[in-house]
């Protein structure tokens, strides 16, 4: 707490003059990224305990963007929060790389697990957003039931599902133009 005899000196070109103006709000962004980083790591470890079998697939060589795939599948959630999903896509990708140093099948098992959930919940009568919500809810319930993850960590599962989506393993690919 400041007393009336303390003097606050501000250097630099900013116009911050009151003590409340000295707080750097950009640090809250760093804390948010760190929170996602930790949660994503915990989620990946939790899901990896569910997966055992893997199937090898041919590589996807079709040329299109993630945005094209989002639009084609009418996934409004991904469209509305695209920047946030892409930021966390990179976190998921880097965490998977770390885990693959110990287990080279890690990514394939993760993708297989999410893809199985997609196939279970796929129904032409449902919208893509509904299917996506069911996949996320199903995996969240698995993690709540069969892992010791904190609820805050589990709430980041949608970033992991987006990663699998962006890797073109669930939902339809846009038609070739």
Give residue 46's pLDDT: 75
pLDDT in tens, the chain (177 residues): 444 454 444 444 444 444 444 444 444 444 455 556 777 777 777 776 665 555 555 555 567 899 999 999 999 999 999 999 999 999 999 999 999 999 999 999 999 999 999 999 999 999 999 999 999 999 999 999 999 999 999 999 999 999 999 998 999 999 886
Q: Would you say how long the chain is, in residues?
A: 177
Distances (CA, A) of 58 to 26, 62, 171: 43, 12, 16
133 in Cβ contact with 65 (< 8 Å): no
| Spatial distance between the Cα atoms of 18 and 10, rounded to a whole number of angstroms | 10
What is the value of pTM for the model shown? 0.69
Rg (CA), the chain: 21
Give residue 1's pLDDT: 44
| Spatial distance between the Cα atoms of 115 and 94, rounded to a whole number of angstroms | 20
Q: In this structure, what is the dihedral angle of CA atoms 62, 66, 70, 73, given to the nearest 10 degrees?
A: 20
Give residue 41's pLDDT: 78
Q: Where are the domains of the chain?
A: 33-166
Alpha helical stretches, state H, 124-156: 128-146, 151-154
| Spatial distance between the Cα atoms of 168 and 166, rounded to a whole number of angstroms | 5
Instruction: Give the residue carrying structure tokens 């996602």.
Output: 36
């Amino acid at each position: 707490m400041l007393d009336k005899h303390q003097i606050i000196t501000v250097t630099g070109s900013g116009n911050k003059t009151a003590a409340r103006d000295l707080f750097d709000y950009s640090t809250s962004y760093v804390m948010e990224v760190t929170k996602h980083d930790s949660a994503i790591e915990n989620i990946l470890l939790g899901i990896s305990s569910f997966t055992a079998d893997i199937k090898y697939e041919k590589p996807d060589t079709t040329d299109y963007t993630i945005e094209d795939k989002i639009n084609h599948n009418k996934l409004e959630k991904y469209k509305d929060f695209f920047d946030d999903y892409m930021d966390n896509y990179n976190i998921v990708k880097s965490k998977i790389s770390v885990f693959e140093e110990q287990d080279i099948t890690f990514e394939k098992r993760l993708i297989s697990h999410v893809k199985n959930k997609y196939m279970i919940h796929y129904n032409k009568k449902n919208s893509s957003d509904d299917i996506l919500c069911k996949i996320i809810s199903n995996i969240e319930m698995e993690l709540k039931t069969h892992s010791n993850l904190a609820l805050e960590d589990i709430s980041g599962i949608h970033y992991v599902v987006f990663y699998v989506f962006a890797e073109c393993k669930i939902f339809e690919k846009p038609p070739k133009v």
